[in-house]
Amino acid sequence: MNLATIERMVRDGDLSLDALKYLVDCRGECEWLDFKQLLRLESGYETSAFAKDALAMKNTGGGYLVIGVQDKTWVPVGLASELPYDAKLLRDKIRRATGLDISVDIVQHQLRYAGEPRWFAVILVRSAAKRKKRRTPSLVKNDFQPKESYGIRRGEIYFRRGDSTVRLDSAEELEELLDDLEERADRDSLERDQPKTPFAVDTGTYRLLEKDYQYFVGRDRLRDQLVAAVTKDPRIWIINVHGPGGVGKSALATWAAYHFYDQRDFEAILQLTAKETVLTSGGISRSQTRTLYSLEGLLDQILLLFGEEPPATLDEKKQLVLEWLSVWPTLIVLDNLETVDDGRIISFIQDLPPASQAKVIITSRRKTGGWEYPVTVPELNHEETRDFVAVKSGELRIDLSLTERRVGEINNACGGLPLAIQWTLGRYKLCGDLNAALGAVIGEDSPVLEFSFRNIWDVLSADAKRTLSVMSIFDAPPGDQLLGLAAEISRERLDSSLRELEEATLVSRQVHPADGQATYTSLPITLSFAANQLARFGDLETHARRRVQQYTQQMELKSWEVDRFVGIFERYGIQADNDKRGAILCRRGESETFSGNMDAADALFKQARDVAPTSAYVFAMSASYELARKRIGQAIKFVDVACARTNRFTGGLAYSTKARVCDAQRDKYGRVNALRRAVEFAPTDVVLLHQLGVALSRAGETNEAIAKFTEIITVESARDLPSETLLMTLKTRIINYRRAGFMQPAQEDLALAKDLLARHPHLSSQAHHIAELE
């Protein structure tokens, strides 16, 4: 805790999330900071206690009440939900209890502790900024339940003594407390370990942070790309240097700042960072160089760069900053921007007017949602790792034999992240065992994993966390089908989480040109961190592995099963292994349907479509299944895909299925047109011809229907042994003859049918159909 820092925050009215983080991390109370686990203002006692604290804070020069932190232990337990109070209600409560109008404000934020989001409230009590005005305290103006022990009485003075609210009895006591407080605050502001300036270059209109490297190694093409992005197109003023944690974004941005400083390409340069922690061989420690907290702070830094005293209001600050940036070519470098919970910063720089001569480099682990020019910082490849290790080994004065095998081991274990490599070398210098150092990189307690991934992990959605975690169970990059199955989330939610992970540079999508199928890859070091998070999801890992194993077994083409379906494969021209898998899955789905296991059937047909997304057979069978379930909309969707992807083998199946879908919609003419197309693909298929004839008849096209029935009868009559098809076609032609008024041909067909029944006993099962016509 630094009293001077808290005094400045109170004076600036800082209610940002970063302010809350700082206050919680103080882990102690003082005159300007008080912790409370809960805040209730329903009873007189509760109102009185709050009013005393607020008045005491006001008399001390202002301060913070942080709600959601245990008193005395300072454990950030958080609140179950937001407090039901706003600033007006708080002021009303204080006025009721004291008769005073005290300026208070309240903001509520979510912070993550132990990986869970929790609500916290920050109440700011404002007071006079100048210390001399504190010498005249505010006295209670009216009585509030004065007969109670907790009551407030007119004329009382409340003040903060250390971590307590006290009632003062004399002006001398007030003077003594103020003198002590101000002395301690001044002492804190002059602490020797606090640098006067965080900038290594602090001259004229140039403010550059200290380099975190002695020599910048390699990345020549990336450096050229960044310089070109900044200088070549005047219409682009925001460059987003993005990539995973520890990949070297900050070092690249720092190199750019010093490059432009040496070249004097800009008349002013301001480099700020939101980095709170640094990684050393001993672990993660708090950084002392953070300079970016909020929009107000950024504007103040820009104005101070040009020698201006920042105005009081935000609008005045913005206006003055825009005036300076419109006349001075300025480079602004904002490092680790994603850790600043103030969206106004990116909005401000995105809205810089055309007159602005500013260029802004931001570093982030995410791609921003706007149109900023992206510069992707990838991990080091094998050759870059060799050069990096050689340079860093020299800086650390360690003797390390750099064989190609050893370079490969370092690159694989560290994922090509410069930060991880540097940490590993530092660890090796301490322990003398490279294998142990490499193993520690991906261990469960690895500070490298925690430093590189914890911040971005904490802001991911629940689905994105779940998806990334289950990625760690796969030996090879999975596709979305396997990922969705393992994570057990819907396709829509999976797509959303994968987009989120891609934007966070945690996952890359690879599309194979041969089949257009996508798989998702992640760095081994990323997957190591993700694997450590699986335990947070209960038994997810066990169930995920079980589901994947079951799916894999279903996908295997067993020879005995393939043999069962050779006829289907030949009939519909199914040759590719995935298409065969899809066909087999459809047949399994049909079996489950007949058994009444509809959930299993749904899953099997979905797997079939995912495995064989270009198979007309699979989509036709899926449409037939959906039709049987009376899900007409889905059936239409699938049958249209089948017809669009059909060929000479599958055309009859696809269009005959479409005809059935049309029939379910009572679309007579749609059914006729679909069956016409089916017959074009299978002109000798008497079943399709008969269906077309019936459809024509129902559509009122009697003569054409008769012609189709005649085609079938001609073919079937030529057979040595007449079939039931011949008998049924005679029946339908008789009906159509009669409908058209052709009674003589109808009688002739009826006589022929009776003769066939008399001469061929195997047709006797159809006799009742002919009897119905008499």
Q: pLDDT tens, 6-33?
A: 888 888 888 887 788 888 877 788 888 9
Nearest to 118 by CA among 68, 72, 66, 84: 68
List of residues 6+ apart from 88 with CB closer than 8 A: none
461 token code pair: 């959605």
Q: Which of 94-108, 137-151, 274-288, 510-524 has the weakest average pLDDT? A: 274-288
Cα separation of 245 and 559, whole Å? 48
CA-to-CA separations, 398 to 412, 425, 427, 431, in angstroms, rounded: 21, 8, 11, 12
150 lies in the same domain as 129 = yes
Q: pLDDT at position 189, please? A: 52
Q: Where among 356, 376, 396 does a domain terminate?
A: 376
97 lies in the same domain as 175 = yes
Cα separation of 229 and 222, whole Å? 10
The amino acid present at 546, given as its one-letter code, is R
Residue 159 counted as domain residue: yes
Q: How confident is the model at residue 260 (pLDDT cuts 50, 70, 90)?
A: very high
Q: pLDDT at position 194, please? A: 46
Q: Which of 291-305, 368-382, 444-458 has the weakest average pLDDT? A: 444-458
Average pLDDT, integer, range 458-481: 86
DSSP 498: H
Q: What are the pLDDT digits (tens) for 54-78?
A: 998 888 888 999 999 987 777 888 9
How many Cβ atoms sit within 10 Å of the Cβ of residue 214?
A: 10
Q: What are the pLDDT digits (tens) for 533-592?
A: 888 888 888 888 888 887 776 656 555 556 778 888 999 999 888 888 889 889 889 988
Q: What are the pLDDT digits (tens) for 597-623?
A: 888 899 889 888 888 888 999 999 999
487 lies in the same domain as 338 = no
Residue 316 counted as domain residue: yes
Cα separation of 238 and 369, whole Å? 12
Residue 121 counted as domain residue: yes
Q: How confident is the model at residue 277 (pLDDT cuts 50, 70, 90)?
A: low
Bridge partners (DSSP) of residue 65 are 34, 123
Residue listed under structure tokens 């910063």: 345
Q: pLDDT at position 559, please? A: 52
Q: pLDDT at position 556, please? A: 60
Whether the pLDDT of residue 283 is over 90: the answer is: no
Q: Which of 37-46, 363-372, 423-432, 492-501 has the weakest average pLDDT? A: 363-372
Give yes or no for a contact between 749 and 729, defined as CB atoms under 8 angstroms apart: no
Cα separation of 137 and 174, whole Å? 9
Residue 101 counted as domain residue: yes
Whether the pLDDT of residue 658 is over 90: the answer is: yes
Cα separation of 663 and 673, whole Å? 11
55 lies in the same domain as 173 = yes
pLDDT cut 70: percent of the chain above it: 91
Strands 518-521 and 508-511, bridge-based pairing: antiparallel
Residue 158 counted as domain residue: yes
Average pLDDT, integer, range 110-138: 76
Say which residue, 447 or 688, is predicted with more confidence. 688
- DSSP-based three-state secondary structure for 516: coil
513 lies in the same domain as 469 = yes
Strands 206-209 and 164-168, bridge-based pairing: unpaired
pLDDT cut 90: percent of the chain above it: 31
Q: Where among 555, 580, 614 does a domain terminate?
A: 555
Cα separation of 534 and 100, whole Å? 54
Q: How confident is the model at residue 190 (pLDDT cuts 50, 70, 90)?
A: very low
Whether the pLDDT of residue 374 is over 80: the answer is: yes
Q: How confident is the model at residue 358 (pLDDT cuts 50, 70, 90)?
A: very high
Say which residue, 206 or 725, is predicted with more confidence. 206
Nearest to 258 by CA among 349, 266, 204: 266
Give yes or no for a contact between 50 and 20, defined as CB atoms under 8 angstroms apart: no
Give yes or no for a contact between 30 and 3, defined as CB atoms under 8 angstroms apart: yes
DSSP 140: P
Average pLDDT, integer, range 322-334: 94
Whether the pLDDT of residue 92 is over 50: the answer is: yes
∠ CA 631-632-634 to the nearest 5 degrees?
A: 75
Q: pLDDT at position 192, please? A: 36
Give yes or no for a contact between 86 and 45, defined as CB atoms under 8 angstroms apart: no
161 lies in the same domain as 217 = no
∠ CA 319-322-325 to the nearest 5 degrees?
A: 155
220 lies in the same domain as 305 = yes
467 token code pair: 């998806």
671, 677, 682, 686: CA torsion to nearest 10: 30
245 lies in the same domain as 283 = yes
Q: Would you give the end-to-end CA distance of the chain in angstroms?
A: 105
Whether the pLDDT of residue 48 is over 70: the answer is: yes
336 lies in the same domain as 429 = no
179 lies in the same domain as 225 = no
Whether the pLDDT of residue 770 is over 60: the answer is: yes
List of residues 6+ apart from 521 with CB closer than 8 A: 477, 507, 508, 510
Say which residue, 257 or 212, is predicted with more confidence. 257
Q: pLDDT at position 268, please? A: 93
Residue 647 counted as domain residue: no
Q: pLDDT at position 129, please? A: 62
Cα separation of 134 and 369, whole Å? 47
Strands 63-67 and 116-125, bridge-based pairing: antiparallel
Strands 164-168 and 157-161, bridge-based pairing: antiparallel
Q: Where among 451, 477, 494 does a domain terminate?
A: 451
Residue 279 counted as domain residue: yes
Q: How many residues does the chain have?
A: 774
Average pLDDT of the chain, as a whole number: 84
For the chain, what is the domain count? 5
Give yes or no for a contact between 472 and 487, defined as CB atoms under 8 angstroms apart: no
DSSP 479: B
61 lies in the same domain as 162 = yes
Whether the pLDDT of residue 195 is over 60: the answer is: no
Across 472-612, where does the E strand assignment appear?
508-511, 518-521
Nearest to 531 by CA among 489, 468, 458: 468
CATH code where residue 496 lies: 1.10.10.10
Across 502-655, where does the E strand assignment appear?
508-511, 518-521
486, 491, 497, 500: CA torsion to nearest 10: 140
Q: What are the pLDDT digits (tens) for 397-442?
A: 888 888 888 888 888 888 888 888 888 888 888 778 888 888 887 7
List of residues 6+ apart from 695 with CB closer than 8 A: 659, 663, 668, 671, 672, 675
Cα separation of 663 and 404, whole Å? 69
140 lies in the same domain as 226 = no
Whether the pLDDT of residue 169 is over 80: the answer is: no
CATH code where residue 699 lies: 1.25.40.10
CATH code where residue 106 lies: 3.30.950
Give yes or no for a contact between 83 and 67, defined as CB atoms under 8 angstroms apart: yes
Q: pLDDT at position 233, please? A: 85
Cα separation of 380 and 417, whole Å? 6
Range of the domain at 61: 3-189
Q: How confident is the model at residue 697 (pLDDT cuts 50, 70, 90)?
A: confident
Cα separation of 428 and 435, whole Å? 9
15 token code pair: 């209610």
Cα separation of 757 and 456, whole Å? 80
Cα separation of 657 and 638, whole Å? 10
Q: pLDDT at position 131, please? A: 63
